Amino acid sequence: MLVKKIIEEWDPIDVFPYAPEDEYEEEVKQIEEYILNASLDKHNLAKEIYTMFRRRFGSDIFTESLESCTNIANKILELPHLIGYTLSKLRTYEWARYNMFAREDIYHHTPGFYFRFRNPGKLYNELATCIDAFHGELQWKLYLGLETRNQNYSLEPYEVYQARLTDEYKKNYDLKGILGHKYNELCEKGISDIPSLSDHIEAWFNLQNKKPILPDRE
């Protein structure tokens, strides 16, 4: 679903809204198969995207550059990890669950980043103020995990945080049932917010030129 969303928003031959919804179905399937079975290198993926679109549509119709394809490949590969990458510029992690969502199924769980800094001091409070000031598709919340033994923190859409506070969630842990028809929308908007949320954090803490210390990925 993520690949389909990114390719359709890119719309490299400018066919929407006039073309059928499955216009890029063949390319989406090829890209999904490639990232499951090949090395997740953005340059190799970019060449694969460039080649498959040129092969199908020809150079007269498909006029995007290899650089444009590299940007799309980077978006496909790095989006689930982007917040983890950004926050690692603030402090080293003691623990982190690096993927914010499942690339193969964006509705598998709501997007969120779960982590614990090493020697955080007052950083969590400062980061919470930063997150509260963000204005995206959704409102976001940084909070100490509700059932954590190790002082792990959660960064999630505010509506997801509220759902976790309900008695119903404490009984069955069923976010989909609690959020109902909002669930898919929260997944989509949450993923859409990731790049701008990352930019907001970088600007707030002046991190643009700092190097990250990346965590082990889970």
User: Residue 205 pLDDT > 90, yes or no?
Assistant: yes
pLDDT tens digits along 160-175: 999 999 999 999 999 9
What are the tokens at 164?
Answer: 């976790």
pLDDT tens digits along 12-58: 999 988 888 889 999 999 998 887 776 567 889 999 999 999 999 99
Picking from 136, 156, 140, the residue whose alpha carbon sits closest to that of residue 196 is 136
| pTM score of the predicted model | 0.73
Picking from 17, 2, 3, 7, the residue whose alpha carbon sits closest to that of residue 57 is 7
